Structure 1
Amino acid sequence: MASHRRPKQPSRARMSVFTVSAAAAVAALTSQAAQADPQASKKDVKAKVDKLYEEAEGATEKYNGAKDKQKKLQKQVENLQDGVARGQEELNEMRDGLGSMATAQYRSGGVDPSVQLFLSSDPDNYLDRAATMDQLTSKQAEALKKVQGKQRSLAQQRSEASDKLKDLAETRKELGDKKQKIQGKLSKAQSLLNTLTAEERERMAKKQERADRASSDRVDLGNDSSSSSRAAAALSAAKGKIGSPYVWGATGPSSFDCSGLTSWAYQQAGVSLPRTSQAQANAGSRLGQGELAPGDLVFFYDDLHHVGLYAGNGQILHAPKPGANVRFESINNMPFMFGTRV
Structure 2
Amino acid sequence: MLVATMPPHRHAQGQPSARPAGLRRVVQRLLTVVAAVAVGAGMLAAPAYAAPSPEEIEAAIDKQWEQLEPTIEEYNKVRAQLKVDRKKSAELGKKIQPLALETEMAMNRVSDLATRHYITGPSRDLGALLVSTKPGNLAEQLTYLDRLAASERKQVEGVLAVRRKYDSEKQKLDATIAAEAKKEKELAAKKTQINAEIKRLQASMPKTTVSVAGCPTVNGVVSSAARKAIQTACAQVGKPYVWGADGPSSFDCSGLTQYAYKAAGIYLTHHTGAQWNEGRAVSRSEARPGDLVFFFSDLHHVGLYLGGNLMVHAPRTGKPVQTQNINYMPVAGFRRPG
Measured against the shorter chain, the TM-score band is: 0.7 to 0.9
Give yes or no for the alignment of 1:190 onto 2:185.
no
- Counterpart in the other structure of 1:205: 206
- Counterpart in the other structure of 2:96: 84
Partner amino acid, structure 2, of 1:58: P
1:56–1:186 CA contact under 8 A, matched in 2: no
Q: Which of 40, 44, 52 is matched with 1:24 structurally?
A: 40
Unaligned residue ranges in structure 1 (runs of 5+)? 111-132, 195-200
Give yes or no for the alignment of 1:249 onto 2:258.
no
Give yes or no for the alignment of 1:143 onto 2:152.
yes
1:86-139 deviations in whole A, cap 9, x for unaligned? 2222221112212321332122179xxxxxxxxxxxxxxxxxxxxxx9786211
- Counterpart in the other structure of 1:231: 226
Per the normalisation by structure 1, the TM-score is: 0.76
SS of corresponding position for 2:245: coil
2:215–2:234 CA contact under 8 A, matched in 1: no
- Counterpart in the other structure of 2:84: 72
Partner amino acid, structure 2, of 1:17: V
1:45–1:193 CA contact under 8 A, matched in 2: no
1:224–1:293 CA contact under 8 A, matched in 2: no
Q: Please, which moves more after superposition, 301-310 or 18-27?
A: 18-27
- Tell me the percent identity: 30
Q: Please, which moves more after superposition, 53-62 or 221-230?
A: 221-230
Partner amino acid, structure 2, of 1:107: T
CA root-mean-square deviation: 3.3
1:254-278 deviations in whole A, cap 9, x for unaligned? 2111111111111111112233222
Q: Separation in 2 of the partners of 1:24 and 1:336?
A: 51
- Counterpart in the other structure of 1:62: 74
Q: Which of 299, 314, 327 is matched with 1:332 structurally?
A: 327
| Alignment length (residue pairs) | 300
Q: Which of 263, 269, 272 is matched with 1:274 structurally?
A: 269
Q: Which of 101, 105, 108 is matched with 1:93 structurally?
A: 105
Q: CA deviation at 1:250?
A: 1.2
1:222–1:313 CA contact under 8 A, matched in 2: no
Change (3 A) 1:65 1:47: same
Structure number with larger C-alpha Rg: 2
Change (3 A) 1:192 1:321: closer
SS of corresponding position for 1:99: helix
SS of corresponding position for 1:242: coil
1:55–1:185 CA contact under 8 A, matched in 2: no
- Counterpart in the other structure of 1:120: none
Q: Which of 163, 168, 171 is matched with 2:177 structurally?
A: 168
Q: Separation in 1 of the partners of 2:64 and 2:25?
A: 57
Q: Please, which moves more after superposition, 303-312 or 181-190?
A: 181-190
Per the normalisation by structure 2, the TM-score is: 0.76
Change (3 A) 1:135 1:192: same
1:244–1:325 CA contact under 8 A, matched in 2: yes
Q: CA deviation at 1:148?
A: 2.5
Q: Separation in 2 of the partners of 1:4 and 1:109?
A: 149
Unaligned residue ranges in structure 2 (runs of 5+)? 1-13, 124-141
SS of corresponding position for 1:249: coil
Q: Which of 146, 150, 155 is matched with 2:164 structurally?
A: 155
2:217–2:289 CA contact under 8 A, matched in 1: no
Change (3 A) 1:47 1:280: same
2:216–2:231 CA contact under 8 A, matched in 1: no
- Counterpart in the other structure of 1:294: 289
Partner amino acid, structure 2, of 1:24: G
Change (3 A) 1:193 1:322: closer
Q: Separation in 1 of the partners of 2:85 and 2:74?
A: 16
